[in-house]
Protein backbone atom coordinates (compact mmCIF):
# COMPACT_ATOMS: atom_id res chain seq x y z
CA UNK A 1 0.00 0.00 0.00
CA UNK A 2 1.30 3.44 -0.92
CA UNK A 3 1.24 6.46 1.29
CA UNK A 4 -0.42 9.65 0.10
CA UNK A 5 2.13 12.31 -0.88
CA UNK A 6 1.71 15.84 0.45
CA UNK A 7 4.06 18.58 -0.77
CA UNK A 8 4.76 21.44 1.61
CA UNK A 9 4.64 24.95 0.20
CA UNK A 10 8.40 25.34 0.63
CA UNK A 11 8.93 22.02 -1.20
CA UNK A 12 6.86 23.35 -4.07
CA UNK A 13 8.89 26.58 -4.07
CA UNK A 14 12.15 24.60 -4.09
CA UNK A 15 10.83 22.52 -6.98
CA UNK A 16 9.67 25.56 -9.00
CA UNK A 17 13.02 27.27 -8.52
CA UNK A 18 14.95 24.17 -9.64
CA UNK A 19 12.62 23.51 -12.57
CA UNK A 20 13.05 27.07 -13.84
CA UNK A 21 16.82 26.81 -13.41
CA UNK A 22 16.82 23.79 -15.70
CA UNK A 23 14.58 25.59 -18.22
CA UNK A 24 16.86 28.65 -18.25
CA UNK A 25 20.18 26.81 -18.25
CA UNK A 26 19.62 23.65 -20.32
CA UNK A 27 16.11 23.78 -21.71
CA UNK A 28 12.57 22.61 -21.20
CA UNK A 29 13.27 18.98 -22.15
CA UNK A 30 15.76 18.53 -19.29
CA UNK A 31 13.42 20.34 -16.90
CA UNK A 32 10.65 17.91 -17.82
CA UNK A 33 12.97 14.95 -17.28
CA UNK A 34 13.78 16.39 -13.85
CA UNK A 35 10.05 16.57 -13.10
CA UNK A 36 9.60 12.93 -14.19
CA UNK A 37 12.55 11.80 -12.05
CA UNK A 38 11.18 13.66 -9.04
CA UNK A 39 7.74 12.11 -9.52
CA UNK A 40 9.32 8.64 -9.76
CA UNK A 41 11.27 9.32 -6.56
CA UNK A 42 8.19 10.44 -4.62
CA UNK A 43 6.22 7.42 -5.85
CA UNK A 44 9.04 5.11 -4.79
CA UNK A 45 9.18 6.73 -1.34
CA UNK A 46 5.39 6.51 -0.99
CA UNK A 47 5.71 2.73 -1.45
CA UNK A 48 8.86 2.34 0.68
CA UNK A 49 9.30 5.36 2.97
CA UNK A 50 12.01 3.66 5.03
CA UNK A 51 14.39 3.89 2.05
CA UNK A 52 15.39 7.41 3.03
CA UNK A 53 18.23 8.09 5.39
CA UNK A 54 17.11 9.32 8.81
CA UNK A 55 18.84 12.64 9.49
CA UNK A 56 20.03 13.81 12.90
CA UNK A 57 19.98 17.58 13.09
CA UNK A 58 20.10 19.56 16.32
CA UNK A 59 17.40 21.95 15.14
CA UNK A 60 14.12 20.65 16.59
CA UNK A 61 12.19 21.75 13.48
CA UNK A 62 14.24 19.23 11.49
CA UNK A 63 13.53 16.30 13.81
CA UNK A 64 12.49 13.00 12.17
CA UNK A 65 13.52 14.26 8.74
CA UNK A 66 14.63 11.71 6.15
CA UNK A 67 16.39 12.29 2.85
CA UNK A 68 16.56 10.40 -0.41
CA UNK A 69 18.23 11.09 -3.73
CA UNK A 70 16.13 11.95 -6.74
CA UNK A 71 16.54 9.11 -9.26
CA UNK A 72 19.26 9.34 -11.91
CA UNK A 73 20.43 11.48 -13.55
CA UNK A 74 19.34 14.04 -10.94
CA UNK A 75 20.71 12.18 -7.92
CA UNK A 76 22.51 15.24 -6.57
CA UNK A 77 19.12 16.61 -5.60
CA UNK A 78 17.69 15.37 -2.31
CA UNK A 79 14.08 15.06 -1.20
CA UNK A 80 13.65 15.75 2.51
CA UNK A 81 10.50 14.24 3.99
CA UNK A 82 8.69 12.94 7.03
CA UNK A 83 6.12 10.22 7.40
CA UNK A 84 3.07 11.00 9.47
CA UNK A 85 0.50 8.23 9.66
CA UNK A 86 -0.38 7.29 6.10
CA UNK A 87 1.09 10.45 4.52
CA UNK A 88 4.55 11.12 3.15
CA UNK A 89 5.17 14.83 3.69
CA UNK A 90 7.71 16.19 1.19
CA UNK A 91 9.30 19.05 3.15
CA UNK A 92 12.21 20.36 1.05
CA UNK A 93 14.08 19.69 -2.18
CA UNK A 94 17.68 20.80 -2.50
CA UNK A 95 21.12 20.02 -3.83
CA UNK A 96 23.03 17.66 -1.56
CA UNK A 97 26.20 19.79 -1.65
CA UNK A 98 24.51 22.61 0.26
CA UNK A 99 25.12 23.33 3.93
CA UNK A 100 22.06 21.27 4.73
CA UNK A 101 21.99 21.95 8.45
CA UNK A 102 21.59 25.66 7.81
CA UNK A 103 19.78 25.68 4.47
CA UNK A 104 16.97 23.38 5.59
CA UNK A 105 15.98 25.85 8.28
CA UNK A 106 15.87 28.77 5.80
CA UNK A 107 13.07 29.62 3.38
CA UNK A 108 13.74 28.96 -0.33
CA UNK A 109 15.76 31.63 -2.07
CA UNK A 110 17.55 32.91 1.05
Report the number of distinct structural domains present in the chain.
Answer: 1
Compute the average pLDDT of residues 78-100. Answer: 89
- Of the pLDDT bands very low, low, confident and very high (cuts 50, 70, 90), residue 64 is confident
* Helix ranges restricted to H, the chain: 9-26, 28-47, 100-103
Give residue 23's domain range. Answer: 4-103
Q: Average per-residue pLDDT in the chain?
A: 90
Task: Establish if 110 belongs to a structural domain.
Answer: no
pTM: 0.88
Q: What is the CATH number of the domain that holds 19?
A: 3.30.2310.20
Compute the average pLDDT of residues 4-28. Answer: 96
Task: Establish if 108 belongs to a structural domain.
Answer: no
Task: Establish if 20 belongs to a structural domain.
Answer: yes
Amino acid sequence: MSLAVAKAEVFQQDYAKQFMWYVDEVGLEVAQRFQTSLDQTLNKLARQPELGRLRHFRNLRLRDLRSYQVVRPFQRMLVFYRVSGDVLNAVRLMHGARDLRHRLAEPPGD
